[in-house]
């Protein structure tokens, strides 16, 4: 389970985030345990714990002592907002810069996107 440039703990966090975003892990539902993630992905439990703890720090998960970690209320919306911002920075901004270099107008760009969908 290696994603080139991302550390394993970040990949674990992203997998849990993806489960929250796609609805397979709902708000107030218990997240997979450190040991479950470690066994499934064949990684060190400390690495899985670091990924989950990063989500706790971000407010996406919260801990119930002795029970496990749970998805915070509002986590899905929070993640969607963050991902949309990241999407804009990673894809939209470079697209607009390149379109500007090529003299492509906003209207032409919209038409290209509309045609791409069809």
Beta bridge partners of 6: 3
Question: How far lies 26's CA from each of 10, 34, 46, 73, in Å?
Answer: 20, 18, 24, 9
Q: Say whether 97 sits in a helix, a strand or coil.
A: helix
Question: How far lies 75's CA from each of 4, 30, 48, 57, in Å?
Answer: 27, 13, 19, 12
Which residues, 6+ apart, have CB-to-CB distance to 42 below 8 Å?
1
**pLDDT tens profile 1-45:** 666 688 999 999 999 999 999 999 999 999 999 999 999 999 999
| Encoded tokens for 34 | 């450190």
Q: What is the pTM of this model?
A: 0.82
């Amino acid at each position: 389970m290696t994603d080139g440039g991302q550390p394993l703990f970040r990949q674990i966090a992203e997998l849990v985030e993806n489960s929250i975003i796609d609805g397979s892990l709902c708000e107030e539902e218990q997240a997979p345990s450190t040991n479950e993630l470690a066994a499934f992905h064949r990684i060190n439990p400390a690495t899985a714990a670091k990924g989950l703890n990063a989500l706790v720090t971000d407010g996406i998960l919260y801990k119930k002592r002795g029970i496990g970690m749970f998805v915070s209320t509002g986590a899905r919306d929070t993640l969607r907002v963050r991902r949309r911002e990241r999407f804009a920075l990673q894809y939209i901004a470079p697209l607009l810069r390149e379109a500007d270099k090529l003299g492509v107008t906003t209207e032409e760009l919209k038409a290209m996107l509309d045609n791409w969908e069809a």
